[in-house]
Amino acid sequence: MSRARQTVTLTADLVILTIRDGGLCVLLVERKNDPFRGRMALPGGFLRGDEALEQTAARELAEETGLAAEALNLRQVGVYSAPDRDPRRPRVVTCAFLAIAPDLPVPVAGSDARAARWSPVTEAAETALAFDHDRILADAVELARTLLQFSTVATAFCGPEFTIADLREVYETVWGVVLDKPNFHRKVTDADGFVVPTGEKRASLTGRPAALYRAGEAAELVPPMMRSRFGA
């Protein structure tokens, strides 16, 4: 039997990242059913007959956050297929997707009744999540860190309009580093198509008001944002 070709059940799991209160957070749901009942897990769902996995992920994302997939930069993290990762039969194999969200006003209200909440990734990394979701989360965070280096997705963490300081906070939070303000400012505004000035300014609580920007057209960030020295 172990040598026979096998049918499996496929799921798409989501690692939805955002920045809240200065920390990188991930959306977790509490499992209401076995296996792993009561344990926190990544949101996800089963593949339907007429879907590709990307659509399954987009559908789940809309259910969990109310946001359209296009805006959230859905990217494949990888496939997790260890035979013992899920005790159910037939085997459950999952494909993980990374989504990057701005700080959402509501913690989340899914269409189903699952208790969903934002959890700092530092905490989540210490908690034992259901299945192999610890590993998936770690892989997704690492992917997000790499993406910040070479793409313009950092703007997806911000709202439609943001200041350079907002954007810098994204890099500092996700990478756990402190960046030089003047150099970051130049780098970002010089990069072609990364940010576009709106002409507006946002008054800060104190100090000089900052110019507002929108995300530019470019997807790739050239030259890449350096990530030489790291922090906690």
Stretch of 66-74, 104-112, 127-135, 185-193 lying at the interface with DNA (CB under 7 A): 185-193
Binding mask 199-218 for DNA (x = CB under 7 A): --x-xx-xxxxxx-------
Binding partner selected for residue 82 from a second copy, DNA, none, CB under the kind-specific 5 to 8 Å limit: a second copy
CA-nearest of 34, 33, 53, 35 to 45 is: 53
The reply to whether omega before 223 is within 30° of 0 (cis) is yes
Binding partner selected for residue 201 from a second copy, DNA, none, CB under the kind-specific 5 to 8 Å limit: DNA
Least distance to DNA from the beta carbon of 214, Å? Answer: 14
Q: Between residues 12 and 195, which has the closer beta carbon with respect to a second copy?
A: 12
Q: Which of 12, 124, 130, 164 binds DNA (CB under 7 A)?
A: 164
Q: What gap in Å lies between CA 14 and CA 29, rounded to an integer? A: 11
Least distance to a second copy from the beta carbon of 85, Å? Answer: 8
Q: Which of 79, 128, 165, 178 binds a second copy (CB under 8 A)?
A: 79
Q: Which of 8, 186, 200, 220 binds DNA (CB under 7 A)?
A: 186
Number of alpha carbons in the 13 Å side-chain half-sphere of residue 150? 4
The single-letter DSSP state of residue 73 is T
Per CB under 7 A, 196 contacts DNA: no
Q: What gap in Å lies between CA 45 and CA 14, rounded to an integer? A: 9
Rounded to the nearest 10 degrees, the angle between the axes of helix 133-150 and helix 164-175 is 140
The answer to whether the beta carbons of residues 140 and 100 sit under 8 Å apart is no
Angle at CA of residue 78, ends 73 and 80, nearest 5°: 140
Q: What gap in Å lies between CA 156 and CA 195, rounded to an integer? A: 12
Q: Which of 32, 37, 38, 48 binds a second copy (CB under 8 A)?
A: 48
**Residues at the interface with a second copy (CB under 8 A):** 1-10, 46-54, 76, 78-79, 81-83, 90-91, 93, 95
